[in-house]
Structures are given as structure tokens and as C-alpha cells.
Amino acid sequence: MHRTPRRLAAAALATALFTLTACGSDSDSEGSDGSNAPDDTNATEGAFPVTIDHKYGSTTVEEEPERVVTVGLTDQDAVLALGTVPVGTTDWYGTHEAALGPWATDLLGDAELPTLLTDTGTGPQLEEIALLQPDVIIAQYAGLTQEQYDSLSEIAPVVAQPGEYVDYGVPWRQQTETIGRILGHADEAERLIADVDARFAEARAAHPEFADATAIPASPYEGYWVFGSEDPRGRMLADLGFTYPADVDAVIGAEFGANISEERTDLLDQGAIVWSVPDPEEGAEQLHQDPLYRDLAVVTEGREVFVEENSDFGVAYGFSSVLSLPYVLDQLVPQLAAAVDGDPATEVPAAQ
């Protein structure tokens, strides 16, 4: 495969900065053309060069990328859906090999699993990413700092998170559309988006009662953590027809979520609340020990949904990506329908 100057610079950077002895120019995960993409994947004619605006300016991708690294925590799903297997993905939940859930692994085909990268709180692993010699680094569902963006840009072109949304708040539609442009498959991205939109429309048509209810996603993290309307989980509930309560959003402010103080437990009393918990049974028991919460109508009228956060369903719910959303809707829609049916005796079904 043609080794571009940027690829050569990436290898040199890895050697100089991190005293490593091999630059991994021929990865075990590469396809027959030296990439990690399916051999029959071709970009739309005239798709390149493409320039994409983001939080730190704009980035131009000159030609179809063959070696893609995702540092956005869910970006790998859209990359796979568009026919490319990344050479590197970034871990989030720590529950699935190569950070690929069961809703995505069928798209690997015969390709090797991507190299799994981690972010321990200090930012992306620069040396490991350099060794993968990427053509492009994608960071859509991400929170890159300017310094991290600048460091990654020494390795390859970086498409950082969009500036018009909070960090980790890119909508799945824009994430998919942007990645489609990066890979030269904008038309296919639009088709994928339309397919998932059709699933949401089907759910709304089947459950018009959703439009008459408010709903929020939450977690018992350090008390009561509520995900905001710009978090993918909040957007998912809105796509199903629910209203995100304005008073909750006002408390959260310009973030993807925030803790609710004990004095404002009343904000949890919505038409439905979807809890992400380590264990549904234990999570419910723990939450119901708090008299400020357990006496709210959302509890006494059985309008809670509990999602096991590290299960396949829970991870797919957290991802809220173009690939994981259909997987989520199959289970979440019946749960929400039971929660808001107006009958406190209706039991919310457990996820399978």
C-alpha cells in the first residue's frame, strides 16, 4: 500500500517519542490491500477531498481513508455500518471485545478485530494510535481538548466533535452523516439514517401515548444523575415522542448531564424515568430506600424502567448509535409502553 508522508511521520513520531522498536507497518488486521476495510468498499466518485468543520476548526480528508481509528466512544458503529472495519477503537464500557457489541459484530466479516485503545482519563493513547498509522482519526462522540486534538493531528487528520453541541452530545444522525462524508459514503449514511428514523416513526405511531408524557434518563451515580436533552439517551426518548421537561434541562445547563440535589428530587417525578443501573433488582431496592424518591408518583404508579447498564441491552442503550438503536428499540419500547399505560398494576417487562 502507498505509504503517505503523514503515515511515515506517524511511524517516526511513535519511535521518537516513545522509544518503540517497531512501527507495525503491516498489521495483522489489514485486508489484502493493506487496509482493514472490506475489499469491495469504494467511496462515491467525487467524494474527496472533503472538508469538515468541528469544534477546533476544520479538517480536510484528501482521499478515501483505508485505516481508520475511532477515539469517539461510539463512532465505530457508524464506521462499520458504512463498510469499513476500523484498525483501532476506543473502549468505554469494558464489556465487549474491541468495543463492538453484538449489534455490530456481524459486519466484521472476515476482518480481524480492531486494536482496542483505552482512555484512562489522560486522553487518547498517542503512541498506540501512531503505531496503527491511521489515515484519519474520528472523534465525534468525544470530548477532545484542544491539546489532545493538536497532539492527535501530528499523527493524522482528526475530525473532532462538532462545536455546536456539548461534548459527548453529538446526535446520532449527525454522527452518522459526518462519518459518511469522512469515508466517502454520504448517500449510504443518509439511507442508514432513514432506516432508523422509520423505526422511530413506527414506534411513535404504535404508541401515541408517548407524546402525552415526559421522560428522562437517569443513573444513581453519586446520588441522582440525570442525562440531559442533548445526551444521546435523552435524544432517543424525544425521538420516541416523549417530551424532555424544560425545568430539568434548566437545572442541567450546558452539559450532557448533571447531579440533582436532594432538594430537587421532585424533578425526577416525570411521566417515565429510565434508570441505568448495575443490577435492576438491586438498583430499584436501593433507590426506593430514599423516602424523598420512593413516594413520588413516578414510583407509586409504576412508571420506572430499569436498564442493566453492562448488559448488551444496557450498552446498546448507552451507545444510541445508528447500529445499536434498532437493537434497543426492540426491548425499550415495550418497557416504556407498560410504564406509561396509566395502570399502576402493569408490570414493566424485564429486558431479555
Tell me whether the CATH fold assigned to 50-191 matches the one assigned to 207-340: yes
Question: Which is more confidently placed, 61 or 256?
Answer: 61
Q: What is the mean pLDDT of residues 314-327?
A: 97
pTM of the predicted protein model:
0.87
Scanning the chain, the segments in alpha helix (DSSP H) are: 5-18, 75-81, 126-131, 146-153, 172-183, 186-206, 232-239, 246-252, 280-287, 291-294, 297-300, 312-319, 324-339
Q: Report yes or no: 79 and 107 within 8 Å, Cβ to Cβ.
A: no
Which neighbouring-strand residues pair with 59? Answer: 52
Q: Does the pLDDT of residue 2 top 80, yes or no?
A: no
Among 13-17, 116-120, 193-197, the range of highest mean pLDDT: 193-197
Q: Does the pLDDT of residue 348 top 50, yes or no?
A: yes
Rounded Cα gap, residues 129 and 10, in angstroms: 9
Q: Does the pLDDT of residue 271 top 50, yes or no?
A: yes
Per-residue model confidence (pLDDT) at position 140:
98
Sequence length of the chain is: 352
Band of residue 327 on the pLDDT scale cut at 50, 70, 90: very high
Q: Does the pLDDT of residue 12 top 50, yes or no?
A: no
Which CA distances in Å does 143 have to 71, 75, 329? 10, 13, 27
Helix axes 172-183, 186-206, angle to 10 degrees: 160
Q: Does the pLDDT of residue 41 top 80, yes or no?
A: no
Look up residue 346 and give its DSSP letter: P
Closest CA to 124 of 84, 152, 150: 152
Q: What is the mean pLDDT of the chain?
A: 90
Q: What is the mean pLDDT of residues 67-76?
A: 98
Which neighbouring-strand residues pair with 217? Answer: 274
- Sheet of 68-70: strand order equals 115-117, 88-90, 68-70, 136-138, 158-159
Q: What is the mean pLDDT of residues 290-317?
A: 97
Helix, strand counts (H, E) of the chain: 13, 12
Domain map of the chain by residue range? 50-191, 207-340
Q: What is the pLDDT of residues 121-155, one digit of tens each?
A: 889 999 999 999 999 999 999 999 999 999 999 99
Q: What is the pLDDT of residues 77-107, one digit of tens each?
A: 999 999 999 999 999 999 999 999 999 999 9
Rg of the chain, C-alpha, whole Å: 21
Q: What is the pLDDT of residues 197-256, one digit of tens each?
A: 999 999 999 999 999 999 999 999 988 999 999 999 999 999 999 999 999 999 998 888
Q: What is the mean pLDDT of residues 257-271?
A: 94
Q: Does the pLDDT of residue 31 top 80, yes or no?
A: no
Q: Report yes or no: 260 and 268 within 8 Å, Cβ to Cβ.
A: yes
- A 10 A CB-CB count for 261 gives 11
Q: Does the pLDDT of residue 25 top 70, yes or no?
A: no
Query: What type of residue sits at position 246?
Result: A
Q: Is 317 left (phi over 0), alpha (psi -120 to 50) or beta?
A: alpha
Band of residue 36 on the pLDDT scale cut at 50, 70, 90: very low
Closest CA to 224 of 266, 253, 254: 266
Assigned superfamily of 207-340: Nitrogenase molybdenum iron protein domain (3.40.50.1980)
Question: Which is more confidently placed, 112 or 17?
Answer: 112
Rounded Cα gap, residues 257 and 285, in angstroms: 23
In the chain, % of residues over pLDDT 70:
88
Per-residue model confidence (pLDDT) at position 341:
96
Band of residue 333 on the pLDDT scale cut at 50, 70, 90: very high
Assigned superfamily of 50-191: Nitrogenase molybdenum iron protein domain (3.40.50.1980)
Is-cis flag, bond preceding 217, omega within 30? no
Band of residue 71 on the pLDDT scale cut at 50, 70, 90: very high
Band of residue 1 on the pLDDT scale cut at 50, 70, 90: very low
